[in-house]
Amino acid sequence: MTWQAYQPAALLIGIPLAVAFLLPFINILFGKRKFVPTFVGVGLALFQLLFGFLVVLPKAMDKPIFVFMSGFKPPLGIALWIDVFGAGLSMLLWFIALAAFIYNLSYLHVHDEMRFIILTMLMVTGATGVSLTNDLFNMYVFLEIASISAYALVNAYRTAETAEASMKYLILGSVATSFVLFALILIYQGTRSLNMWDISFKIGSMPTGTLWLAIASLFVGFGVEGAIWPLNSWLPDAHPAAPASISALLSGAVIKIGILAMVRFMYIVFAPVIATTKQFSVFLMVIAALTVLVGEIAAYRQHDVKRLLAFSSTAQVGYMVLGIFSGSPIGFVGGILHLFGHGLSKALAFLLTGEITDKVPDRDLNKAGGALSGISVAYSNLLSVLGLSSMPPFITFFSKLFILMGLIQRQFYWAAAVLAIGSIVEASYYGSYLAITSGSPLKWDRVSWRTVGYILLASGLVAISFLSPFVDSFSQGLLNFTAGTQMGFDHAVFNVAEWLINNGWMWLCIVALFILANLSLHAVGYAGLLISVLVLVFPQNAAELLGLSAGSVTSTILLGLLAVGAAVLSMVCLSGTGWGKNKSFQINAALLGFISLLWLISSNSLLSTLVAWEVLSWSGLMMVVGEGNRELASSYYGWAMASGLAFMFAVTGQALGQNWWLLALTLGVLIKLGMFGFHGWMIKVYGESSPVVGAVFSGILSLGAVVVTFKYGVENYLMFPVVILAGVQIIYGGLIALGKENLREILAYSSLSNMGFLIIAIFLSSKALQGAGLGSNAIVSYAPFIFAVAYALFESVLFLGTSYQRSNKGVLLSLSVVVASLASAAMPLTSGFLAKWSVYMSSIYAFSPLLTAVLMLGTILSIAYTAKWFILWLGSTSVTKRGVENVSLLVGALALIGTSFIQLGISWTGAFFWIVLLTLLATIVMLVPFFRKARQEGEVYTGSALFEPERATMQFEDLFYPYGLWLSKAAAHALEAGYTYLTSFFDFMADVVRSTYTGVINDYATYIVIFFIAAFVIGRGWLM
């Protein structure tokens, strides 16, 4: 082991101790003026940070620093051991302290300023001493300084609640430090030394029983300080009682000294023993896993904001311990980095609770609606939640990925499962928390000292995430710290610095478009339209810009998806209506979703794909948070986290050479697509949100899954169960859609049904592209692309159209909705027909008549529920000649017609021509009633869909009067003449629909069944 001497490093402890004791005299010197103690604290924190970051930490990252006190070398003299971990933690402590001092300037009317600042200085200095000392007794002394100061600070408000919490903390903390002191006595008795490195060479001479008693005592003592379950009972009471700034320090940094002390003892003092005792490492892993589960479940059940965050801190400690003691180098690095990322994120979250407490004194989350709706606090809240839930680009994303990789590397699969479960639960309650506190309309908030504190911590969180070369060097220093355990870091797999530099342009695009969106929403809409046109007009240039192979079919498909996403973005931004409560979040989310789609298309590695996928997820989170509905946000974010974790497992599996990585990737895609069984979030989000949410999810976010499957494929071993579930999904979604009366609920279930079509197309296409016996017909390979394009366009138009259900409908709007409805019903000369046709042909090439029949039945249902949707949308309002304001939706309508002529393995001769012709004729016959003059029979208008009722409303059967009845009767007679078996099947189908509707729609469904059977027969070539 190599080290360096640098005596001035002792100033990191000496200066703050001196300032804390001299502060009363300094205050007297300045006439006991207000703000003097606080500004002294700010100056002290700035000195510590500048000296630490510019001088001490760079040296520690090169080689650990030894500081010999009083001129005596260890083991006789007291020494400081400043490695990268300890120096980094001390910088974290003082950075949070700086934010706390500034924040507290807004609360001087509540606290005794002098008392508060001195105690905070002592608490942080004590924690710094624990981080830097190499002497066990000094560690105990510094631990007592930090603990006693914290006991007093918890009781800062001096109420019954704070006194009780402080007393509980005092009792448990005293027990903890007593265990630590007892362990130190045992160690000194056995080794006659208090220097950590000296003890590590002598520890083998201790009796085994005494040694393990000391280890157990230290685990209990520092387990209390680190809030590890079941020793964390003080934390949930201490946080609600303490001021927000002290809670930020306690949870953000002070409890981390318990983790640091455990690392010191396990990797230095007891390293020779722990290395040969695997059972103790497993014990620590089990305790860590229980800490995760108990902490997350307890947090999920909380209504007190601070208790929620406190239990969350306990769970985060569990993640850190899982990584640190996994025995894997990358897991160790992940655990330590998670400590820093969580420290900043949680400190910011606790500072923000001050805003909530001001408005809701009892901190009840149910009463805190819109408590963080100022622009600065809302976006700070968003950054905090994203950091706490480990979303990119924040360092907590990489740290959790490293932890997971370490667990898989050491075959702790059960611990990896615990990490996944805990993360999903965590995302659920953080989604709810964010929707409640920041789901209201944003407003400009008054700038105060508190605002400066928020911005400082948010900036620190972003900085530590993007200063990747520093983080990279820091990681190497961490590995050098581990006492020669031969840990190596694989830069070829995860070089955070190189990755962020290569992808920095994407983050610049995000920032630039965010600024543009807040300046002019229409400018973004026109930009989206321009991007769509440029991609189509200059495909080779676009392909080169995105790193695609210009002219290849894959490039054409990916650019087509990009053009569609840009067109949907244009429609959303130019429509000007249909937004939720927090329009600012939703505007930025729409932009972010498009950029993440762009990122997915241009990504050249699975890691970049994972990051873009996660950005796609948190753009969806911002969309649903903008609704202000906690249940929506909780449901969506939980499932989005599950999808992201599946991708994270895929990246881990691929990096470690595991053959199951594609299986994990496929599960992530299926969750995002809302496959039957994973579809709960889709129904809630699509059916209960604003029109813009449904348009963005269906028109932009859903395209990301198609991009991923084209790049990586899917696991074909899952085909059989997935296709069965997708078939059930098609029928289930269609039938439920028929029974709904709400426009967006119909679209939600229709989306569920359409996703079934898309999933089947994806799997059949993947099998064809892998040469698994589906032939070489291009339409099979590109069916997912064709279907995704059509679905994105017609579904987004229909969702945006729901904004005008109860208003006059302009001609352009009506035309757009009619075209989108025809596409949804799979009518010719729209891409909806081409989409369904491509999936039919895929099933035919797969030699699956049953699957083809299910697809046809799903199409029949889509015709029926689309017809009902259109009638409900048309309502009782008139069509006017005006409506230029809705011209944006015409973009989607024209695209639906234009994309129906995509030439991908389809010949407009032979069977396809006759199918199109027959369907067109049938469509014209069915649509004639739309243009007939309305006839009044009593108080009911019949014979036309476009009319202006005065006292009556149109009934569903009016759409098909009189033609549907005549055609269906003829079809029924024809069936009865020769097809007994099929007649029973049709009767069954009619009964299914009749359970919801009465009238000619049942016979109409029968007629359509006959028509599609004829199409199927011709498609198979049985009559040719």
In the chain, count of helices (H) and strands (E)? 45, 7
Q: What is the mean pLDDT of residues 876-903?
A: 62
| Predicted local distance difference test score (pLDDT) of residue 516 | 63
- The one-letter amino acid at 310: A
pLDDT at 148 over 80: yes
What's the mean per-residue pLDDT of the chain? 77
| Predicted local distance difference test score (pLDDT) of residue 755 | 92
Q: ∠ CA(646), CA(650), CA(651), 5° rounding?
A: 120
| Predicted local distance difference test score (pLDDT) of residue 925 | 55
- DSSP 8-state assignment for residue 266: I
Digit-coded pLDDT (tens) for 445-499: 777 788 888 888 888 888 777 665 455 556 565 555 554 443 333 433 444 444 4
Q: What is the mean pLDDT of residues 157-163?
A: 77
Q: Could you tell me the two tokens for 748?
A: 């939600």
| Predicted local distance difference test score (pLDDT) of residue 807 | 58
> Among candidates 711, 547, 682, which has minimal Cα distance to 624?
682
The C-alpha atoms of residue 923 and residue 827 are separated, in whole angstroms, by 7
- The one-letter amino acid at 346: K
Cβ atoms < 10 Å from Cβ of 517: 21
| Predicted local distance difference test score (pLDDT) of residue 883 | 47
Distances (CA, A) of 686 to 620, 626, 726, 750: 12, 14, 19, 10
DSSP string, 728-762: HHHHHHHHHHHT--SHHHHHHHHHHHHHHHHHHHH
Task: Report phi then psi at 937, rounded to 5.
Answer: -120, 100
- DSSP 8-state assignment for residue 394: S
* b/e code 362-378 from CB counts within 10 Å (16+ = b): ebebeebbbbbbbebbb
Higher pLDDT, 615 or 34: 615
Its pTM surpasses 0.85: no
> Among candidates 760, 787, 744, which has minimal Cα distance to 564?
787
Please report which helix (H) or strand (E) contains residue 65, including its range.
strand 65-68
Digit-coded pLDDT (tens) for 932-971: 444 545 444 444 434 333 333 444 444 433 333 333 334 4
The C-alpha atoms of residue 560 and residue 532 are separated, in whole angstroms, by 9
> Among candidates 325, 354, 353, 324, which has minimal Cα distance to 340?
324
| Predicted local distance difference test score (pLDDT) of residue 422 | 92
pLDDT at 570 over 80: yes
The C-alpha atoms of residue 679 and residue 697 are separated, in whole angstroms, by 14
- How many angstroms separate the first and last alpha carbons of the chain? 83
Evaluated on CA atoms 117, 120, 124, 129, the torsion sign reads positive
| Predicted local distance difference test score (pLDDT) of residue 645 | 92
| Predicted local distance difference test score (pLDDT) of residue 611 | 85
| Predicted local distance difference test score (pLDDT) of residue 71 | 63
Higher pLDDT, 298 or 972: 298
The C-alpha atoms of residue 1013 and residue 989 are separated, in whole angstroms, by 14
> Which of 280-294, 627-641, 741-755, 988-1002 is the least confident region?
988-1002
Q: What is the mean pLDDT of residues 610-635?
A: 87
Cβ atoms of 473 and 495 closer than 8 Å = no
| Predicted local distance difference test score (pLDDT) of residue 420 | 92
Helix axes 811-824, 831-845, angle to 10 degrees: 10
Task: Report phi then psi at 608, rounded to 5.
Answer: -65, -35
Strands (DSSP E) found in 141-290: none
Digit-coded pLDDT (tens) for 31-66: 777 778 888 888 999 998 999 888 888 888 778 888
DSSP string, 681-703: HHHHHHHHS-HHHHHHIIIIIHH
The C-alpha atoms of residue 399 and residue 416 are separated, in whole angstroms, by 14
pLDDT at 198 over 70: yes
DSSP strand pairing (940-942 vs 935-937): antiparallel
| Predicted local distance difference test score (pLDDT) of residue 467 | 64
> Which of 692-706, 802-816, 1010-1024 is the least confident region?
1010-1024
The C-alpha atoms of residue 1011 and residue 1018 are separated, in whole angstroms, by 11
* b/e code 640-659 from CB counts within 10 Å (16+ = b): bbbbbbbbbbbbbbbbeeee
Q: What is the mean pLDDT of residues 682-695?
A: 88
| Predicted local distance difference test score (pLDDT) of residue 418 | 92
The C-alpha atoms of residue 468 and residue 280 are separated, in whole angstroms, by 34
Cβ atoms < 10 Å from Cβ of 1008: 25
> Which of 66-80, 135-149, 546-560, 648-662 is the least confident region?
66-80
Q: What is the mean pLDDT of residues 660-689?
A: 88
The C-alpha atoms of residue 894 and residue 917 are separated, in whole angstroms, by 21
Share of the chain above pLDDT 70, in %: 77
Residues in contact with 79: Cβ distance below 8 Å, sequence separation at least 6, in sequence order: 66, 67, 68, 69, 73, 133, 134, 135, 195
Q: How would you list the strands of the sheet with 4-5, edge to edge?
A: 4-5, 65-68, 79-82
Longest dimension (CA), the chain: 110
The C-alpha atoms of residue 625 and residue 632 are separated, in whole angstroms, by 8
Residues paired with residue 880 on neighbouring β-strands, in sequence order = 810
